[in-house]
Amino acid sequence: MIRKQVSGSVKPRNGIVVKSSKSNKTVVIKKIMPIVEEGLYNAKVIDVEIVEPKMTKQGLTGRTRVGFRLEDGREIYSNLLLMWNKNYPAYQLITNVLGTFEDVDLDDLIGAEVRIEVKHNVTNDGVFANVVSVYSIDGLEKDEDYTESDNLEEYEDNKEFDQNAYDEIEC
């Protein structure tokens, strides 16, 4: 086995080392990363790990911590509840990327490109940016040419269809 001998100090990724020669102690001053503003962002999944479960109304619920890299290089990490429901970001992420929620390997999510919705949660501890929804970029690109007038036409068609179906029932 070959071992590489390294000298010097290790620099932390998220802070600055401050030393006190008098007390012979060091401390890391953490960098505060700017909070991601609320909005929709194209992002790439860069990290997925299972973390401690959380007690919810449904009982002890599994969670995963997912890291996303935005197009501008900023990163956002969010703890997502592993709930089998279309309203939960973990379910949205898994089904949009892998197509199923059953028998998945979370590592298969790494590298996936998605669109995320970020909302702020204000607590006594501060303001936190949370991923509240995950969308498929493929699905969004397919609907790029979809306009508001298309939406109005679809609404009118559905309204007419609903009225016709209602009229047929009445007969």
- Amino acid symbol at 1: M
* DSSP H/E element including 95: helix 89-98
Q: What's residue 67's pLDDT?
A: 97
DSSP 106: G
Q: What's residue 96's pLDDT?
A: 94
CA-nearest of 130, 139, 47 to 96 is 139
Q: What's residue 3's pLDDT?
A: 54
Question: Would strands 75-81 and 113-123 be described as parallel, antiparallel, or unpaired?
Answer: unpaired
- Residues whose CB is less than 8 angstroms from the CB of residue 146 and which lie 6 or more positions away in sequence, other chains included: none
Q: Six-digit token pair at 44?
A: 């790439």
Global pTM reads: 0.63
Mean pLDDT per 10-residue section of the chain, whose length is 171 residues:
51 67 79 81 97 94 96 95 94 93 90 97 89 86 46 46 42 39
Q: What's residue 66's pLDDT?
A: 97
| Domain annotation for the chain: domains and CATH numbers | 39-142 (2.40.50)
Q: What's residue 1's pLDDT?
A: 54
